[in-house]
Chains A and B, each alone.
Chain A
Amino acid sequence: MIRRLVSIVAVVFYFLMFSFFVANSQELGVVDEATAGNFFGVGARAMGMGGAHIAVASDATALVYNPAGLARVKRIEFSGGLTHQRLRNKTGGLTFVGIQPQSTAVNFNDGRLQSNTRLSSANIVLPVPTYRGSLVFAFGVNRIKSFDRAMKFTFAQDGSGGIESESGGLYMWSFGTAVDISPNVSVGGAFNFFSGTDNYSWLYEDSYDDGYLSFKYKYDDTIKDRYSGFNFKFGVRVQPNKFLIVGGTIDSPVTYTIREDWTQTTDTVFYYPEAYWIQYYDSDNPEYKISLPFSLGIGIALNFSNLLLAGDVHYADWTQMEYKRLWDMAEANRNIKDSYTDVLRWHVGAEYLFPGIGTTLRAGYYQNPLPYKSTWIKKDRDGITFGIGFLIDQVMTVDLAWVHGSWELNDFNIELAEKYTTNKIFLTTAYHF
């Protein structure tokens, strides 16, 4: 009898400790900062070209890619767009290398599908009449980061498992201006205000039955983060001749203020032989800050008659991220130094125009490495893109892009292989008058 009671107390103690540990981990959230290295893409033309747009941008999306490109806009422009994303997650047991057999701990072919359709952009560009050169103002809002994500796995033995779900995004409200400082050199800048929400939930269910002692356990964690912050983006665009365009951008550090609401519940039911029910509940609404580092970008574009080739490189050192006003801040910031790394994100793309029918075809590729220093990364994030654009009745453009991306992770703790594939559709339309 005493041994059985000790067993129950031990199991309860274990789960309470587990809950406490997870609670603190989630509160810190140091290993997975949703805003770090999160490139989603803006504008169908840009994404049709793989996101290579620093040198190319000459429409409202210049607010996002390179504000200096606004100087090339000669028509008042209204534009808007939406995106549709289908993210598919597949999980399975890890396949070991060598003679070790394939793990059977985790069910194969498990996973989850999440699809979201969002309004992604609305912009106004106003070129000011000039006697010489160019002066252009622009205002707009663009969804620059997406937090939409899902993951599910189930253990083969007892059907226990977890579901991770995340949705939301970060919108960037921008006011930008660009000016020609010489016939072929433009500079531009944009003040950006960021605002958005990240809804995260993690549900884990487990059960145990050895014929003598049985229990069911459910852990539910919900986090809602509301982001706000601002920064400044500076851009330059140089076109030394008809064939070549070079662009550069500097994103100033951005400090997000995060207002968080989190709740955690743990339900444990023991059957021994009567049912014992233990519930743990906790919640809080802390506020803290996180500052993201400088980001630098360089782009080049080559123009051969109707063919446009473009390439971009972006650099950010995510180890410079820093939490502020956070409980246990020193540990959180130490974990950032240990877990994150600097990242070179690159994009290439091409566009071919059929002038007679006002139609453009586009294709591109980009690699957007995860900002972690981890052996868990099996395949880094990348994407292949295709696009088409139409000029309608001279004043209106409609662009469509399809982006197919994927990445893979191996969680060695629970021998879980995670594979993510995304299919994104970008639809953008603009009216010029």
Chain B
Amino acid sequence: MKNRFIWLGILLIIVGVFAIGCYTVLMHPRVQGEEEENIEHTGTYYREHCTDCHGDYHSYPYGYYYGFYPDYYWSNPRWGHYYAYPWWWDRYWWDYDDDAEYVPPSEEKAERRRGLEPPYVPETKTPVPFISVPPSRTEEQPVQIKKEEPKAPQPKEPKKEEKPKDEKAEKRRRE
């Protein structure tokens, strides 16, 4: 009987963690207005343009571990750029369409793919607020997708010196 209570307790903890709610998020929460959105992966859709809603995206990108890494993770890229860097950030051979035209990574993506850096400080040296208001929203409005005139990203002229920062991707691209 005692063992049954123990097992029941363990089961309740597990169910509680997964059912009631958890810090870990597997899927992006639905945002008001999404249902009406004509979902096309144009680069303007909020799931692909994280910084539209999340001003702190550079600090805490998709899959980022908020915790603490030892110093050597940052001082030595052999550790930091690999073991602190989730596998789903990599691009593998099955991601590639050989016939497709190469599109250089956007600035945000390139920033992310260069790996993690200790508390990110943008070039302005002003720390990004932890929760930021999307640029297309007024302060009173909840976070939602702007239905009209989705903000298209400004095409960037590929600069030679910006492109090859991610050597791994560059190498694969050449192959």
- B26 at the binding interface (Cβ < 8 Å): yes
- B96 to chain A: which residues have CB within 8 Å? none
Q: Which residues of A contact B85 (CB under 8 A)?
A: 74
Contact with B along A121-164 (1 / 0, CB 8 A): 00000011111111100000000000000000000000000000
Task: Flag if A133 contacts B25 (CB, 8 Å).
Answer: yes
Asked, given contacts A74-B87, A183-B23, whether A356 binds B76 with beta carbons under 8 Å apart, the answer is: yes
Query: Is A239 at the interface (CB under 8 A from chain B)?
Result: yes
Are A306's CB and B71's CB within 8 A? yes
Given known A134-B24, A179-B22, A356-B76, contact A189–B70 (CB-CB < 8 A):
no
The contact of A234 among B10, B63, B68, by CB within 8 Å, is: B10
Q: Rank and list the top 3 A-B pairs by shortest CB-CB distance, nearest first.
A: A133-B24, A355-B76, A183-B66
Interchain CB contact under 8 A, A75 and B23: no
From residue 373 to 407 of chain A, which have CB atoms closer than 8 A to chain B? 391, 394-395
Does B122 touch A at the CB level, under 8 Å?
A: no
Q: CB < 8 Å: which of B10, B76, B79 contacts A189? A: B10
| Contact flags B63-97 to A (C-beta < 8 A → 1, else 0) | 10111111110011011001111111000000000
Among A135, A239, A252, A432, the residue within 8 A (CB) of B26 is A135
Q: In chain B, what residue has the closest Cβ to A305?
A: B71
Q: Taking the complex as formed, is B131 at the interface, i.e. its CB lies under 8 A from any CB of chain A?
A: no
Nearest chain B CB to A199 CB, angstrom units: 31
A77 to chain B minimum Cβ distance, whole angstroms, is 9
Question: Could you tell me how many residues of chain A have their Cβ less than 8 Å away from some Cβ of chain B?
Answer: 41
* B3: Cβ under 8 A from any A Cβ: yes
Query: B70, A358: Cβ atoms under 8 Å?
Result: no
- Least Cβ–Cβ distance between B108 and chain A, in angstroms: 16
Contact between chains at A74 and B84 (CB < 8 Å)? yes
Evaluate contact between B24 and A180: CB separation under 8 angstroms.
Answer: yes
Q: Is A182 an interface residue (CB 8 A)?
A: yes
In the complex, are the beta carbons of A433 and B87 less than 8 A apart?
Answer: yes
Closest to A250 in B: B10
Given contacts A131-B27, A179-B22, A189-B14, contact A394 B65 (CB under 8 A): no
Given the complex, which residues of A lie within 8 Å of B63, measured CB to CB? Answer: 74, 129-131
Listed in ascending order, the chain A residues whose CB lies under 8 Å from chain B are 72, 74-76, 127-135, 179-184, 187, 189, 232, 234, 239, 241-242, 252-253, 303, 305-306, 308, 353, 355-356, 358, 391, 394-395, 432-433
**Would you give the shortest CB distance from B137 to chain A, in whole angstroms?**
20
CA distance A260 to B96 in the complex (A): 57
Question: CB < 8 Å: which of B26, B71, B75, B84 contacts A130?
Answer: B26
Of the candidates B3, B65, B72, B86, the one whose C-beta lies within 8 Å of that of A305 is: B72
Nearest to B27 among chain A residues (CB) is A131
CB neighbours of B86 from chain A (8 A): 74-75, 127, 129
Contact assessment for A239 and B67 in the assembled complex, using a CB-CB cutoff below 8 Å = yes
Q: Measured between C-beta atoms, what is the minimum distance from A174 to chain B in Å?
A: 15
Closest chain B CB from A309 CB (angstroms): 12
Known contacts: A355-B72, A355-B75. The answer to whether A183 contacts B24 by CB under 8 A is no
B1-58 contacts to A (CB < 8 Å):
3, 6-7, 10, 13-14, 17-18, 22-28
Q: Which residue of A lies closest to B64 (CB)?
A: A132
Q: Give min CB distance, A288 to chain B, whole Å.
A: 18
A258 to chain B: closest CB distance in Å? 19
Q: Verify A181–B87 contact, CB threshold 8 A.
A: no
The residue of chain B having its C-beta at the shortest distance from the C-beta of A184 within the complex is: B67
Given contacts A135-B26, A182-B23, A358-B78, contact A129 B67 (CB under 8 A): no
Q: Is the CB of B68 within 8 A of A75?
A: no
Query: What's the nearest-Cβ distance from chain A to residue B45, in Å?
Result: 15
Q: How far is the CA of A381 from the CA of B17 in the complex (A)?
A: 40
**Residues on the A chain within 8 Å of B76, using CB:** 355-356
Complex partner residue of A394 from B28, B75, B82, CB under 8 angstroms: B82
Of listed B13, B67, B83, B84, residue having the most chain A CB within 10 A: B67
Task: Please determine whether B67 and A130 come into contact, CB atoms closer than 8 angstroms.
Answer: no
For residue B56, give the distance in angstroms from its CB to the closest CB of chain A: 12
Q: Are B10 and A75 in contact (CB under 8 A)?
A: no
Contact B67 A131 (CB under 8 A): no
A391 near B78: Cβ-Cβ < 8 Å? yes
User: Could you give 12 example pairs across A and B, Cβ below 8 Å?
Assistant: A74-B87, A132-B23, A133-B23, A133-B25, A183-B66, A184-B67, A189-B10, A308-B70, A355-B75, A391-B78, A394-B78, A395-B82
- Residues from chain B with Cβ under 8 Å of A133 in the complex: 22-25
When chains A and B are docked, how far (Å) is the Cα of A412 from the Cα of B10? 46
CA distance A306 to B70 in the complex (A): 7
Q: Which B residues are CB-close (under 8 A) to A179?
A: 17-18, 22, 24
**Cβ B22 vs Cβ A181 within 8 A:** yes
Instruction: Compute how far the CA of A228 lies from the CA of B98 in the bound complex, rounded to whole angstroms.
Output: 52
List of B residues within 8 angstroms of A356 by Cβ: 76
Interface pair B79/A75, CB less than 8 Å apart: no
A132 touches B25 (CB 8 A): yes
B115 to chain A, nearest CB (A): 12
Given contacts A180-B22, A183-B23, 6 further A-B contacts (CB under 8 A): A72-B65, A75-B82, A131-B27, A132-B25, A133-B23, A184-B66
Q: How far is the CA of A331 from the CA of B76 in the complex (A)?
A: 62
